[in-house]
Structure 1
Amino acid sequence: MTTASTPTTAGRARVGVQRFGTFLSGMIMPNIPALIAWGIVTMFFIEVGFTPVPALATIVGPFIHYLLPLLIAYTGGSIVYGVRGGVVASIGTFGAIAGSDYLVAQFNEQLLAADPNASTLGEVHMFIGAMIMAPLCAYSMRWLDSLWEGKIKAGFEMLVNMFSAGIWGFVMMIVGFYPIAWLVNSIMDILSTAVNWLVSMNLLPLTSIVIEPAKVFFLNNAINHGVLTPLGLQQAADEGSSILFLLEANPGPGVGLLLAFTFFGIGAARASAPGAALIQFVGGIHEVYFPYALMKPMLILALIAGGATGVTTNMLFGGSLAAPAAPGSIIAVTGQAINPAAGGVPNLMVVWLSVLLSAAVTFLVSAVILRASRKRDLAAMASTDDAFGAAITQTEAAKGKGSSVLEGMRGGAATQAGGEAGPSVATTHEIKSIVFACDAGMGSSAMGASVLRNKIKQAGIEGVTVVNKAIANLDGSADLVITQNQLTERARQRTPDAVHVSVDNFMNSPRYDEVVDLVRGQHDGGA
């Protein structure tokens, strides 16, 4: 029987913010290919592009103003209520787009009447509007359908379904046109004013104080996808590029931390750091460095220092990206930095410099912290077989909650109250479907699933599927779910009947071998 500590208020709040961020991420991440396509169009076909084509350049405006928000709305609506929710969400969001355009036109008309030479406002792109309308439309549609579920006479189901969705879509379109359009225009105005104030006061680097710790605790999606991406896209549409795309995506702090572990770390952390650095820097999977920071929270200061250095460099020399860099790899960052809309090769040099300096500062500060605690860490390693896991266990204890990294799984391994490791992975539940789940279902989960899939294949085990998903998409069909230790609690809420395994090192966790041994034992007749 698994025992677990009662979640603290802070823990519940963290899970709530993570869940909110995951929903935002679920709307944005599947549409990153559309953002990349938009970036390619701007790179080649706008007036300052590599190969200007005026006719094709006309795609740029409608693409960002209509297509991208509607894609986000459809994706968000479908997450909540399938295709039906996606359609109603798209209708409602289109009303918000039209309402925003109407408000801007009215404002500009009054502005020009007072001063014919005044600078008029540009279009407000409804990314935040789509994120608001999608759940609002889909949840309300689902609630309405529940009112007459099972009460429709046979033969009238399609008629009722079509007309109810159409009528409610019309209602939500009016809601989007008036209150939501006004609300989003006001929010964008406030956020834009705040960012401009931070830039004018040279305070933008202070955002690293929030962003870098948020990343480590998997809370970055609410900030990144809820604020930075919509505001950055608005700024990029108006000015060609935005520094906001670099606040969270800069791979410099992460690679600096991992290089510090490569040279000054000990035990398993040092051995795994070089591979993690390559995956983080080139692959763009930032989650691989989170456990290294969590095992010694003081290192978050190094990440903040590095992040602030990168932001300062870009702010002083004008570094920016033409579109979001997703994933946050040096390859994606380079592609969006070299875009002529962002300034081309000179801008690329600035962005590279910001990455280099942020990595260097994080490396130096991390090196000081690691060297200062080296004797204590060596003593801790001497008393345990797994210094990496032990350090994270100590970190978990310091946060006032039970250890999830050494936790077993439901129905199998036990976790003692003090956070000590229970027995190896074990369960009588037959394992045929394994899901590796992460926040967005693309980066770390894909990597972990690939590693585990290869291990199962090498073991000669057949009939077991290993896939990766976003936690929000877990549907209860999985027999065993593997997550990073900070995300296990949320995954368990989605699939309480599955066996759950927590890992700390995405690339080569010993938990993978335990899972392979478990499945092999079941296939050989042992349970």
Structure 2
Amino acid sequence: MQNVNAITTKGGSLRVKLQRLGGFLAGMVIPNIGAFIAWGLITAFFIPTGWVPNEHLAKLVGPMIMYLLPILIGYTGGKLVYDVRGGVVGAVATAGVAIGSSVPMFIGAMIMGPLGGYVIKKFDEAVEGKVPAGFEMLVNNFSAGILGGILAILAFLFVEPVMNAISLGLGAAAQWVTDKGLLPLIALFIEPGKVLFLNNAINHGILAPLGVAQVKEFGKSIFFLLETNPGPGLGVLLAYWLFGTPSPGSIFAEIAMAPKGGLLPVLAGIAVGALVSFLIASPIVKRASEESMSAESMSFARSIVSGLKAQSKGEKVEMPKAEVKMDTLPKLIVFACDAGMGSSAMGETILRKKLKEAGFDIQVKHSAVNQIPKEADVVFTQENLAERAAQVVPHAKIVTVKNFLDNTVYDEFVKSLRK
């Protein structure tokens, strides 16, 4: 565990900026995953090539993917920028790109939603303190309606044709790659995107619309399985299982998405990806683990030698410990990961239990790193997200952890609170 006391909050590296962008895009999609699952289940069961074909229920598939999901994303994007008011204008603006399009407008929603939120936010800032008393509700409603309507018209006339052309162009390119047997090369773009937290934007903004177009024609599509393929991750996890600490994968979700009669090919693809990534990751992880152990051992040995030398001179020695020094007890502790729904929630549960057992009444929450509450006193996050966390809550103590499931980190933190 490492306490980050000073992190540059101005500017930030290009990596951090890309991560922030990817985190924002993910923040538009992840809260709506339940809606995607609902659409996926209805599609898997009731389309003509589904498990239990039903012509009447299959009518839900098109409107949900063409209108419901993009507008939900647009609403969420606007809400991220300017709360509910921004969400409403973002949803109206998104309708302009969704209606009339021949493909699902997820990319358009990721543009128009935040834009709608930004426009209404700037309008409210411009008229703040200038609205006569009693006219606030009237101005609020009409401004949102007028600006939302204008954005929807502009999106329908200008943005939608451009986004539609881009989506069709991407579809043609993807089809060419598939026809040429070069599909595995797409991983060269997908896997680096995951490192920069752009995987949700790639999956739901590009691959999902391409997959939907193929589903309409063929009843299934491999594009749904490219970014979500747990094979490469599984191979790396196997390497960590042998030489480090693993985390859970998503193989069950992949199995659930397998088309009727296509389970074996999907599992074969996962196995191949797992084998390749395992063979590549193993020597890297093993070497990193050995170097890490060696560095920790050397550091520990140096501290012992230094301590013995100091003791021989009659000096008082305190061995360094991995703890966070607090002048007062924190009121709010936040666990932050990129999406705020997975590992951070598990870390929150572990620490809350330990604090309760130790007799501390401290509030613990989990959050996406871009949405850490301003009143947070302590933030637990991963090393590669520490700079972003410090930019959001510069006054908070940022504690970096390598693994949210590491109980020793929380034991040390509780001990530091007792002191």
TM-score when normalising by structure 1: 0.70
**Residues 1:469 and 2:367 are matched in the alignment:** yes
**Offset, 1:31:** 0.8
Q: CA–CA distance in 1 between the matches of 2:337 and 2:292?
A: 29
What does residue 275 of structure 2 align with? 360
What does residue 74 of structure 2 align with? 73
Question: Which one is further off, 369-378 or 85-94?
Answer: 369-378
**Offset, 1:251:** 1.7
Q: CA–CA distance in 1 between the matches of 2:72 and 2:220?
A: 22
- Structure-2 change in CA distance of 1:67 and 1:146 (3 Å): same
Contact 1:218 1:486 in 2 (8 A): no
**Offset, 1:132:** 0.9
Q: Deviations over 1:182-206 (max 9, x none)?
A: 1111210221122122222322212
The RMSD of aligned alpha carbons is 2.6
**Offset, 1:433:** 1.2
Q: CA–CA distance in 2 between the matches of 1:383 and 1:212?
A: 34
Contact 2:334 2:364 in 1 (8 A): yes
Counterpart of 1:453, as a letter, is: R
Q: CA–CA distance in 1 between the matches of 2:234 and 2:357?
A: 31
Q: Which structure is higher in RCO with an 8 Å CA cutoff and minimum separation 6?
A: 2
**Offset, 1:497:** 1.3
**Offset, 1:248:** 2.3
Q: CA–CA distance in 1 between the matches of 2:7 and 2:47?
A: 57
What does residue 426 of structure 1 align with? 325
Counterpart of 1:159, as a letter, is: L
Q: Deviations over 1:135-164 (max 9, x none)?
A: 111101110111111111111111111111
Q: CA–CA distance in 1 between the matches of 2:282 and 2:352?
A: 35
**Offset, 1:280:** 1.8
SS in 2 for 1:502: strand
Contact 1:440 1:470 in 2 (8 A): yes
The sequence identity of aligned pairs, in percent, is: 46
Q: Deviations over 1:156-186 (max 9, x none)?
A: 1111111111111111111111111111112
TM-score when normalising by structure 2: 0.87
SS in 2 for 1:435: strand
- Structure-2 change in CA distance of 1:8 and 1:231 (3 Å): farther
**Residues 1:159 and 2:138 are matched in the alignment:** yes
What does residue 31 of structure 1 align with? 32
Residue in structure 2 matching 1:488, options 367, 386, 392: 386
Q: Deviations over 1:413-462 (max 9, x none)?
A: xxxxxxxx98621121431211111111111111221222222233332x
What does residue 518 of structure 1 align with? 416
Question: Which one is further off, 139-148 or 254-263?
Answer: 254-263
**Offset, 1:357:** 2.0
Q: CA–CA distance in 2 between the matches of 1:39 and 1:473?
A: 28
Show the 5 A alignment for 1:21-170: 21-98=22-99, 100-101=100-101, 123-170=102-149
Contact 1:21 1:225 in 2 (8 A): no
- Structure-2 change in CA distance of 1:51 and 1:244 (3 Å): closer
Q: CA–CA distance in 2 between the matches of 1:373 and 1:66?
A: 48
**Offset, 1:351:** 0.8
- Structure-2 change in CA distance of 1:239 and 1:54 (3 Å): same
**Residues 1:501 and 2:407 are matched in the alignment:** no
SS in 2 for 1:153: coil
**Offset, 1:516:** 1.8
Counterpart of 2:335, as a letter, is: F
The alignment covers a number of residue pairs equal to: 399
Contact 2:86 2:117 in 1 (8 A): yes
What does residue 222 of structure 2 align with? 243
Counterpart of 1:30, as a letter, is: P
Contact 2:4 2:399 in 1 (8 A): no
